[in-house]
Structure 1
Amino acid sequence: MGEWLSTVEFAELVGIGRQVAHRALRRRRWRKNPLEVRKVNGRRGGNAGEQYQVNSTSLPLEYQHRLKVSQTLVENHSKSITGRTAEHAWWLDHLRPALQHPVKSTARSDALVELADKPTRNWEGTAVSYSLRTLQRHAARFDDGMKVGRHGRSDRGKKRVVISRRWDKLVPFDASTKAKIADDLKQEIRGLLKGGMSWGHTLQEAEKFLIDATRAWGFRPGDPNVLERACSIPTDLVSVELHFRNVHRFKRDHKAYDDRRPRIRRTVACMQPMELVVGDVHPVDIHLTRPDGTVATARLIGFLDWATQRLWIGLIFFERRGGVQNRDVIEVFAAMIDAWGMPQSLYVDNGKEFGFAAFLDDAMQLTVPGFHGPSRSTHVINALPYNASAKPIERLFGDLETRYFSTARGHIGGNRMSKKQEAIGRTVAPFGAFEDVVPAIEGFVRTYNHTAQGKKSALKGLSPEATFRKHLEAGWAPTAMSRDEVRAACARTEERSVVQGAISVGGRHWTCPELQAYQYEKIWVRVPAYHTPAELLLLDRYGERVGIAFPDIEFHPLDKRGAKASAERAKVHRQAVRDLDRSAPDIDVAARLIARGEAQPDSVPNEPVGIVSYDPAKRPARIVMPKGASTSEERRRDQDERIAVQMDLAKRIVG
């Protein structure tokens, strides 16, 4: 009773394809040999799972023997036949009459002589015959524990050519010199590619370098053409060094390098809505008409909820040249917070239009008392410069342009230097005025928010709104904050002096009843960092609210309302002073000072060590008493005497 082989096992045994084996079993004949075949019901296969099986006893004898060999261990062989190739198994089967005898024995030699030049069929079914030397070589490989059959080169994997066969054969250099020239050539090619040289120019420069290097080492054939032909550079020498182009890309085209650099993968799993919001500004590629007839594009300010991929937008259009400012972004951001709630963290780029985000850091920290994510000292995250691929909102802007905005009229594409054209030489007609495009853009964004994404996307086949509803059903709730509170958060605290119940901010005077009753000299004001204020929040030195100041009104000298307002302010100030008076006890300060002086003890001096007298009779010589003032007659007499002395002196000198 033989063994029944499946179609696959039969194909592997005889070395043919599965389909060829299937046809042979269906015909019950293979290579003119009848086969004993049966049908069995299997779990797989055509025709209701029916499969063919062949009895091993009906196979040709050589394959029966091969099957037997493949199921047993070969004598004196340490390795199993299982897993060997068909060629190896065939050689073991073919050489078995000789391999069963000891090495270098007469019996083995006689067996090999008997097998030599004997016609047979190899593992592929091809009629072959082998010489005695071939059989001896395969038998020796078996004795060495190696696979029997065809084998690769013994020097496989080793470099057999230094530069090229023609150059290696032509030059008379020794191996070390050839290796030195080849290494210098490799460095030359690397340097050329690192410098940004093209493929063709690199081959030419490398060929010139090899010619010069060969001549420099003393080889100058009589025919220069012979050397030039021999120094032709194989393309493989350049191909294996192409990765050095990455250096040139890194130095000269950092955008292309950055697109290829390794990145990490992020997931939205376990993220909650508004846990991280990404903000950015994008120019909409749709031409709009200004009132003066010129065309321009609008700016889209977008905020993306990373966890749900929802997008909130605001549109801005400049009737003249201009750019997006902080106050524009604040208004869109405040509208988003009013609708979606306060985000836990804000991820924006380093543009000046997002400078307001630093003012919101404290406000966002108040919204996450139970946040267990990675610890941060700030909840405002600034992206690295020129790192657009790190922000998912950048990719979303590209999808909006491609899938939605491009369907609107007036779409010019993202390349401003090569805008779309309705006809050759004519740019597409504008969409219309800014008021016309706003509903269209908002409609596109609403469609995106309600469109299911791919099953391999972060949302796993759900739309942003559907993902958001899942979080709502799980109990998530937003943290509310009004628009006015957002605007107030984007302000600086500045100190001001209170002068006559008013302060000066931005070249204007501000006042309010609370400020008119304020009794301190200094007050602290919350000054908006980006907006022109209509009112100002006043704080005391402890940060407590004092009131809201409004611009002071100027009155005409004859306007009776001015007198009335002045009287009201004086009344408020007097009342504040009276309240201050009642809040402290009455104390007679003068009486306190007099009483404190009277309570001090008198100081008693010691006995004098000497007596000073002004009596001229008792005056010592060292004391000079002052003279009394001289009369006018005495002054004239003294003057005459001085003149006489001077005249006498002059006469002596002359005479």
Structure 2
Amino acid sequence: MTRFIPVSELAQAAGLTNRAIERAITRTVAGQRATWRGATLVVRKVHGRGGRSGIRYEVRVDSLPLELQERLRALKSTSESPLRHGEKAQQERDWWYGLIAPALVHERHSRARGAAIAEIVSRRHMRPDGRWVSVSERTVQRKIAAFEDEGYAGLARRKRADAGAPRVIVSWRWDKAVPLDDAGKHRIADALRQYVRGLHKAGEARALLADLASFKLEQLTRKAGCDLGAQASELCRVPQPFLDQEKAYRRVALLRRDRKTFEDQKPRVLRKLAGAPMEVVYGDIHPVDIVLRREDGSTAHARAIGWLDDATRRVWLDIILVEKGKGIRNRDVIQSFINMVNAWGAPRTLYLDNGSEYNWAEFIDDALQLLDKTGQPLIERVEPGRAGIVRAQPYNAAAKSIEGIFSVLERNYFQAVPGWIAGDRMKKKTSSVGGKVEPFPGTLEEFRDLIGMQIRLYHRICQQRGKLKGRSPDQAYKEAIDAGWTMTAVQADAFRLAFSHVRELTVWQGAISFKRERWTCRELVRWQERKISVRIPKYEDWNRLPLLDRDGNLVGFAERQHAYHPLDTAGAVEAREISRLHTKEVIAMARSAPDVDLLRERSAFLDAQPPAPVAPIGATIGASDEAERFLAAWNETPAERRKRERRERELKAHEEIESFAEYKAMSSKLRRAG
């Protein structure tokens, strides 16, 4: 720090009186003392107000003791911070300092200073706001005096130290009535503030905010031990500024309840127009606000498949009137895209609507397959690994320029078409009060012609407010052509290859089945595999279907099979021909493969195999006695059965004889005993 400070500032930093500092400096200047607090002071004399004969002392800061230098740095940072508040006051200080600077170089009360002041007063000066003003001599003298007394800060009004800080805690009546210290009041105010934030977050009606917040403040005050008596409701009334300070939290309710409004209000990225035509093309599906009549007599709103060239703001629309209960199909979008490309050329980047009624996923996969003659994608890739197709965020109409164009077309051009309902289907514009909307009186083709005329008119009108800066879309397009821009044309075959898919169909009797019709060709007649790959169109009906092998190579083209009359001899000729081709192909296959003796090959295979393994017996499970008798009877022959029956009779007779002998012996014993 190499600046000088006056005695008053040094006294404040040292914690001494001005008189004590002046005595110390006087002794140093007079040589009575070499140092002050261990430091050798560097002092200078300054002419101005104060001191003897307008002379005062100033001390260089870097000659002071280190602790005082650090304290002065802290004081300087706090004293200078208010000056940084308010750009207008800072500009005024700069202006006044530049005005009085020629007079400050001269001593006070000198003729030179007086002449400098007179010269300042004699001229007109431009203020920071651009106004020319004259200043009086007295005003210049007061500004010089303020600068010499207070320094740079004296050249303009100081900003309050508490500027911007709230002067009340809740309200002046509540602050005065509640017998709590500031810390206690702030605790209540903080709790109330959180409650108000919660009300805003929940989306509470503004008419109820003040009453609910006041009731909450009354509860918090009573809970803190302060009873305000009968005047509690009046004293606890929360002022509107307190409520409005937290209204930013209403955006939470907006996010949860009204996503459309939330998205409309969120910060945006400023975008400029694309550099060249077809560099960026927007795509979207838009329900036209015009009532049409279907062929069955029902009414509906047509859909417009729209494309917007960002650089020129040109619009391409294809009108589709869908059947009842149906929606936009992929083939409709493909056909519209082809129509646009045939007229404008291929785009480099597509920007598609992510929240549309139509799912663009299938279309994106097909569009990326568009190749030029060299095999390069027509829709370029803007980043490595990222396709040149951008999906806009849902609910984000501002990210899709075509949304704004639809609004302009409806409001300024389509409103002249009969059947227009003014964009609000709940408040339709009708020819009579309470009546039904009169649909467009013409046919769908007439409606398309009329919409096409409105688009041509839009292309001719200059856009004063838009990014075209007063040019019309046709003018912007012509300027690009004059500057050397050329369109990229796409051949029909490229569309057919891109907007088709490969399906595997079953080959049966030399033909395939597609859309309940049989398709065949000479290549299919000779085809011996069960399946074949077929390229199927997505947006038009083909008379020939390309056939592909497993590697994707072209095999041939299948056509609808002709049905012959039973008496038509050409049918017999064709049957013989396809039978000959089929048999010939089978014979060719037979010649290309070797002959194999199946029995010999099987025998050789078995002979080469090891013997069948035999497991050792570890346990035997036998039948029961009854089961063995049953099995023996089941397996015996008639002769064996007769022998068995004879043995059984003999055994039974022998048992009877033995029983009789035992009986006689027992009887004899009984008689002898008796």
The 3-state SS of whatever aligns with 1:432 is coil
Partner of 2:332: 328
Partner of 1:476: 486
Alpha-carbon distance between aligned partners in 1 of 2:419 and 2:451, rounded to the nearest angstrom? 13
Q: Deviations over 1:356-403 (max 9, x none)?
A: 331221225845489584334323333333333211111111111011
Contact residue 516 and residue 572 of structure 1 kept, 8 A = yes
AA matched with 2:246: E
Q: Deviations over 1:320-376 (max 9, x none)?
A: 443211122222222222333333333323444533331221225845489584334
Partner of 1:186: 193
Alpha-carbon distance between aligned partners in 1 of 2:542 and 2:163, rounded to the nearest angstrom? 82
CA gap 1:193/1:498 in 2 versus in 1, 3 angstroms: same
Q: Deviations over 1:135-155 (max 9, x none)?
A: 9xx989963545279756554
CA gap 1:524/1:258 in 2 versus in 1, 3 angstroms: same
Partner of 1:22: none
Partner of 1:345: 349
Partner of 2:254: 249
Partner of 2:311: 307
Partner of 2:502: 493
The 3-state SS of whatever aligns with 1:284 is strand
The 3-state SS of whatever aligns with 2:431 is strand
The 3-state SS of whatever aligns with 2:289 is coil
Partner of 1:211: 218
Contact residue 342 and residue 364 of structure 1 kept, 8 A = no
Contact residue 88 and residue 147 of structure 1 kept, 8 A = no
The 3-state SS of whatever aligns with 1:179 is helix
One of 649, 654, 657 as aligned partner of 1:647:
649
AA matched with 1:323: G
CA gap 1:82/1:253 in 2 versus in 1, 3 angstroms: closer
TM-score of the superposition, structure 2-length normalised?
0.65
Q: Deviations over 1:238-258 (max 9, x none)?
A: 121111111111122111111
Alpha-carbon distance between aligned partners in 1 of 2:56 and 2:466, rounded to the nearest angstrom? 59
Partner of 1:361: 368
AA matched with 1:439: D
Contact residue 288 and residue 301 of structure 2 kept, 8 A = yes
Partner of 1:387: 396
Partner of 1:435: 445
Q: Mean alpha-carbon deviation: is it higher for 643-652 or for 257-266? A: 643-652
Q: Deviations over 1:461-501 (max 9, x none)?
A: 3333333333434152313221x642442332222343321
AA matched with 2:648: Q
Alpha-carbon distance between aligned partners in 2 of 1:267 and 1:86, rounded to the nearest angstrom? 43
Partner of 2:95: 83
Alpha-carbon distance between aligned partners in 2 of 1:158 and 1:319, rounded to the nearest angstrom? 65
Partner of 1:465: 474
Contact residue 346 and residue 378 of structure 2 kept, 8 A = no
Alpha-carbon distance between aligned partners in 2 of 1:374 and 1:155, rounded to the nearest angstrom? 53
Alpha-carbon distance between aligned partners in 1 of 2:425 and 2:551, rounded to the nearest angstrom? 54
The 3-state SS of whatever aligns with 1:470 is helix
- 2:266 pairs with 1:261: yes
Alpha-carbon distance between aligned partners in 2 of 1:338 and 1:519, rounded to the nearest angstrom? 41
AA matched with 2:458: Y
One of 184, 199, 215 as aligned partner of 1:177:
184
AA matched with 1:261: K
Partner of 2:547: 538
Alpha-carbon distance between aligned partners in 1 of 2:408 and 2:311, rounded to the nearest angstrom? 18
One of 133, 147, 150 as aligned partner of 2:154:
147
AA matched with 1:84: W
AA matched with 1:299: R
Contact residue 342 and residue 480 of structure 1 kept, 8 A = yes
* Structure showing the higher helix proportion among its residues: 2
Alpha-carbon distance between aligned partners in 2 of 1:382 and 1:370, rounded to the nearest angstrom? 15
Give the share of equivalent positions with the same residue, in percent: 35
Q: Deviations over 1:97-156 (max 9, x none)?
A: 8xxxxxxxxxxxxxxxxxxxxxxxxx999x99xxxxxx9xx9899635452797565544
CA-atom RMSD, angstroms? 4.5
Alpha-carbon distance between aligned partners in 2 of 1:636 and 1:212, rounded to the nearest angstrom? 114
Contact residue 507 and residue 531 of structure 2 kept, 8 A = yes
Partner of 2:124: none
The 3-state SS of whatever aligns with 1:285 is strand
Contact residue 292 and residue 299 of structure 2 kept, 8 A = yes
**Unmatched segments (≥5 aa) in structure 2:** 1-48, 59-89, 110-133, 609-635, 660-674
Partner of 1:445: 455
- 2:405 pairs with 1:396: yes
Partner of 2:243: 238
AA matched with 2:386: S
Partner of 1:287: 291
Partner of 2:427: 418
TM-score of the superposition, structure 1-length normalised?
0.67
CA gap 1:157/1:577 in 2 versus in 1, 3 angstroms: closer
Contact residue 96 and residue 155 of structure 2 kept, 8 A = no
Alpha-carbon distance between aligned partners in 2 of 1:220 and 1:477, rounded to the nearest angstrom? 82
Alpha-carbon distance between aligned partners in 2 of 1:155 and 1:417, rounded to the nearest angstrom? 54
CA gap 1:264/1:157 in 2 versus in 1, 3 angstroms: closer
Partner of 1:547: 556
| Per-residue deviation, 1:536 | 2.1
| Per-residue deviation, 1:508 | 4.0
